[in-house]
């Protein structure tokens, strides 16, 4: 059985109904019945708004100009790189055109095999001169000790008359440009078993 009188129950109910309203006034909570009031937005003076808008437009304009300048610089760099490559290739090809001319003359030649051989030897010398003009040098091979950094061994041949690992035949010449290897020399290398035992 309840110990509260009907009067006390009514008073407690009124207090419960009044409590949320007081909490709302203090900013602690809101009830479902309360209407939401929009928060007042800060008003910006018209002059300030125009100034900010002009500043924004100026920044957008600068950004667009920078983007255009970047695109133009990228296109210019690509074009300059292509022109430089064409210039470098043109300089190299120009040195080989006389060699090609001499090969074409040799093909049309009606001379003897000895004369043809002499002509081809002159063309080879001319080709070597053109390569030297481009700083391309042959890799030293014949008579040197095999070096895997600049030589590629085609085969090792047992030879008692040569030092072990000596290159005794150059099958294909190797080349380097300054210190950079363009292709290794293809060589045959001596293998001397007598020196290996000693």
- The answer to whether residues 185 and 139 touch, using CB atoms and an 8 Å cutoff, is yes
Give the tokens for residue 22.
Answer: 């007081």
CA-based nearest residue to 135, from 99, 168, 170, 91: 91
pLDDT in tens, the chain (198 residues): 456 677 776 767 776 666 555 444 544 444 545 566 555 556 768 888 889 999 999 999 999 999 999 999 999 999 999 999 888 888 888 888 988 898 888 888 888 888 888 888 999 999 999 998 889 999 999 999 999 999 999 999 888 888 899 999 999 999 999 889 999 999 999 998 887 655
Per-residue confidence (pLDDT) for residue 20, from 0 to 100: 53
* pTM of the model as a whole: 0.54
SS (H, E, C) 130-189: HHHHCCEEECCCCCCECCCCCEEEEEEEECCCCCCCEEEEEEECCEEECCEEEECEEEEE
Q: Please give the structure tokens belonging to residue 121.
A: 């030897």
Q: Domains (ranges, CATH) in the chain?
A: 46-134 (3.90.20.20), 136-198 (2.30.22.10)
Q: What angle do CA 90, 94, 100 make, to 5 degrees?
A: 130
pLDDT at 35: 62
Predicted confidence at residue 23, as pLDDT, reads 47
| Separation between Cα atoms, residue 193 and residue 198, nearest integer Å | 9
């Amino acid at each position: 059985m309840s110990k509260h009188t009907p009067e006390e129950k009514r008073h407690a109910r009124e207090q419960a109904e009044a409590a949320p309203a007081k909490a709302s006034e203090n900013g602690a909570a809101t009830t479902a019945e309360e209407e939401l009031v929009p928060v007042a937005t800060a008003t910006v003076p018209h002059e300030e708004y125009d100034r900010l808008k002009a500043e924004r437009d100026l920044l957008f304009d600068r950004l667009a100009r920078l983007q255009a300048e970047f695109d133009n610089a990228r296109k210019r760099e690509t074009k300059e790189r292509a022109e430089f490559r064409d210039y470098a290739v043109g300089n190299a090809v120009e040195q080989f055109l006389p060699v090609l001319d001499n090969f074409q003359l040799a093909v049309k030649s009606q001379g003897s095999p000895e004369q043809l051989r002499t002509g081809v030897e002159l063309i080879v010398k001319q080709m070597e001169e053109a390569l030297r003009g481009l700083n391309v040098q042959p890799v030293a091979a014949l008579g040197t000790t095999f070096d895997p950094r600049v030589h590629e061994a085609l085969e090792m041949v047992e030879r008692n008359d040569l030092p072990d690992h000596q290159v005794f035949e150059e099958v294909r010449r190797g080349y380097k440009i300054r210190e950079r290897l363009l292709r290794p020399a293809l060589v045959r290398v001596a293998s001397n078993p007598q020196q290996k035992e000693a």
